Amino acid sequence: MPQANMTPAFIGIDWGSTHRRATLLGADGAPASARSDSEGALACAGRFRASLEALLGDWPEAGGASTVVMAGMVGSAAGWQPVPYLEADTPLSALAHHLVRIGDAPSGRRCFIVPGYCLHDEQGAVDVMRGEETQLFGALHHLGPEAADGCYVLPGTHSKWVRLRQGRIVELRTYMTGELFALLSQHGTLASAMRGPGTAAGMSDGVDADRHFLRGVDDAAARPALSHSLFGARARVVTGGLAPANAAAYVSGLLIGAEWADAQRLASRDEPVRLIGEPALARLHALCAAHHGRHFESLDARQVQLAAWRALASESPTS
């Protein structure tokens, strides 16, 4: 008696710099189980195959999944196998046709890497993504090809602002928001300015933290030179105008506010900025959007990623 729903068929892995999240889809495309660990690309240097074998070997339900598709930093120069970026004129809808097969896959598995994208603008600037193209491909399937046109923000270590038009990535601007926040929180003079009771308030949902966050958003708009506005956080602390406990929320507002001040023009006034990301970051971006009088729509990042794996499972090469 065939049990189609019980036949594991496909594994999608979001394999970033510091984390890895693997999703097993049944033959019907429904998620059967998932695994997360901190075997990111940085930790796996030189042993990607062994790390994947260990993941699969410890995952009985994954035994029958012959196809593994991986997205993210696993395809970078520091990853398993360097996969060239696609140029922006390659439609996202064709992503499955550009998967790159891994030469040294574990026995019995067909392993592919999703290529990232690079965009050159008219002024000669270049920007890149790896991993986010798979989320955008998921959004395309989740929302439908026509409804998916528009402006997206994918916040995180490197926050991406993207404009999709007719299934193509036509604009891309990356901001080092999360990385700068981490650097400034851990090292240097702002870290000591932030040190104080309740420092974690920067990402809290307290009314007071939100007020300081939005002051940062305003100041980022008024003072576009970030290296100046960041020093202003220190100046406010040492002159008593800002309590150390609120400094992290304020700095977070300066950094995320700098994105909005620069990037919101990617969206026209009457269309929403769509966010794909963690709820805590979605909440801060929703505050920014309301503050700037912009429409905002938060998509469920897990659903979007799942839509991507489901589409790749049905579209990826079968031989």
Binder among 85, 137, 152, 213 for a copy of itself (CB under 8 A)? 85
Helix (H, G, I), strand (E, B) or coil at 113: strand
Q: Which stretch binds a copy of itself (CB under 8 A): 90-98, 173-181, 201-209, 305-313?
A: 173-181
Nearest to 91 by CA among 131, 46, 136, 50: 136
Smallest gap, in angstroms, from Cβ of residue 40 to a copy of itself?
Answer: 13
Report 4-63 residues binding a copy of itself (CB under 8 A).
none
Which x/- pattern, by CB under 8 A, does the window 181-220 give for a copy of itself?
A: -xxx-xxxx--x--------------------------x-
Does 3 sit near a copy of itself (CB under 8 A)? Answer: no
- Residue owning tokens 């009457």: 270
Taking CB under 8 A as the criterion, the residue among 232, 251, 274, 310 binding a copy of itself is 232
* Rounded CA separation 307/292 (Å): 31
Q: How many CB atoms lie within 10 A of CB 103?
A: 9
Indicate the SS3 state at residue 199.
helix
Q: Which is nearer to a copy of itself, 218 or 271 (CB)?
A: 218
What SS3 state is found at 136? Answer: helix
Applying the rule CB under 8 A, the residues between 119 and 158 that interact with a copy of itself are 123, 125-128, 158
Taking the complex as a whole, the smallest distance from the CB of residue 196 to a copy of itself amounts, in Å, to: 12
298: three-class secondary structure by DSSP: strand
Please, what is the minimum distance in Å from the beta carbon of residue 228 to a copy of itself? 5
Q: Which residue blocks in the chain are alpha helix, DSSP H?
A: 48-57, 132-143, 177-186, 188-194, 207-222, 226-238, 244-263, 279-291, 301-315
Instruction: Kindly report the backbone phi and psi dihedral angles of residue 264, in degrees, each rounded to the nearest multiple of 5, phi listed first.
Output: -65, -20
Residues that bind a copy of itself (CB under 8 A): 76-78, 85, 118, 123, 125-128, 158, 173-177, 179-180, 182-184, 186-189, 192, 219, 222-228, 230-232, 234-236, 238-239, 241, 255, 258-259, 261-263
